[in-house]
Amino acid sequence: MHPQKENRVIKLHDKYFKPFISAEEIDDAVSRLADEIANDLGDEIPVFVGILNGSFMFTSDFVKKYPKPCEVTFIKLASYEGLKSSDDIQRLIGITQDLTDRTVVVLEDIIDSGRTMHEVHRIFKNEKVKDLKIATMFFKPESYKKDFKLHYVGIEIPDRFIVGYGLDYNGLGRDIPEVYQIKTTQHMTNLVLFGPPGAGKGTQADFLKVQYDLVHISTGDVFRYNIKNETALGMMAKSYMDKGELVPDQLTIDMLNAEVEKNADAKGFIFDGFPRTSSQAEALDELMRSKDSEINAMIALEVDDDVLVKRLLERGKTSGRADDANEDIIRNRIKEYYEKTAILKNYYSQQDKYYGVDGVGSIDEVTTRLSKVIDSL
Ligand code: IMP
Ligand code: MG
Gap between the Cα atoms of 114 and 120, Å rounded:
10
Q: Answer yes or no: is the C-beta of 116 below 6 A from any ligand 1 atom.
A: yes
Q: Answer yes or no: is the C-beta of 79 below 6 A from any ligand 1 atom.
A: yes
Nearest-atom number in ligand 1 for the CA of 167 is 21
How do residues 93-134 score in pLDDT, each as one tens digit?
Answer: 889 899 999 999 999 999 999 999 999 999 999 899 999 999
Q: How far is the CA of 133 from the centre of ligand 2 (A)?
A: 16
Q: Which amino acid is at 288?
A: M
pLDDT band at 5; cut points 50, 70, 90:
very low
Cis, bond preceding 275 (omega within 30 deg of 0): yes
Given the candidates 1.10.10.10, 3.40.1190.20, 3.40.50.720, 3.40.50.2020, the CATH classification of the domain at 10-182 is 3.40.50.2020
Q: Answer yes or no: is the C-beta of 162 below 6 A from any ligand 1 atom.
A: yes
Which residues are bridge partners to 354 per DSSP?
A: 298
Closest residue CA from atom 22 of ligand 1: 167
Q: How far is the CA of 44 from the centre of ligand 2 (A)?
A: 26
Long-range contacts of 256-262 (CB under 8 A, 24+ apart): 256/217, 256/219, 256/222, 256/284, 256/287, 257/287, 258/233, 259/215, 259/217, 259/222, 260/217, 260/287, 260/291
Same-fold call for 10-182 versus 189-376: yes
How do residues 15-49 score in pLDDT, each as one tens digit?
Answer: 888 889 999 999 999 999 999 999 999 999 999 99
57, 58, 79, 168, best to mutate for ligand 1 pocket (most atoms within 8 Å of CB): 79
Q: Are 160 and 239 in contact (CB under 8 A)?
A: no
Q: What is the pLDDT of residue 30?
A: 98
Q: How far is the CA of 85 from the centre of ligand 1 (A)?
A: 6
Q: Answer yes or no: is the C-beta of 180 below 6 A from any ligand 1 atom.
A: no
Whose atoms come closest to the Cα of 79: which ligand? 1
- Per CATH, the number for 189-376 is 3.40.50.300
Closest residue CA from atom 11 of ligand 1: 110
Closest residue CA from atom 9 of ligand 1: 110
Q: Mean of the pLDDT values across residues 340-348? A: 93
How do residues 253-280 score in pLDDT, each as one tens digit?
Answer: 999 999 988 887 789 999 998 999 999 9
Positions annotated as catalytic residues are 201, 276, 315, 321, 333
Q: What is the pLDDT of residue 2?
A: 44
pLDDT surpasses 70 at 137? yes
Helix, strand, coil % (nearest 5) of the chain? 40, 25, 35
Gap between the Cα atoms of 254 and 265, Å rounded:
18
Where in the chain are the domains?
10-182, 189-376
For a pLDDT cut of 70, what percent of the chain falls above it? 96
For 288-349, the three-class secondary structure string (H helix, E strand, C coil) is: HHHCCCCCCEEEEEECCHHHHHHHHHHHHHHHCCHHHCCHHHHHHHHHHHHHHHHHHHHHHH
Q: Answer yes or no: is the C-beta of 109 below 6 A from any ligand 1 atom.
A: yes
DSSP state, 101? T
Mean pLDDT of the chain: 91
Closest residue CA from atom 21 of ligand 1: 167
Whose atoms come closest to the Cα of 89: which ligand? 1
Cα 193-225-234 angle, rounded to 5 deg = 105
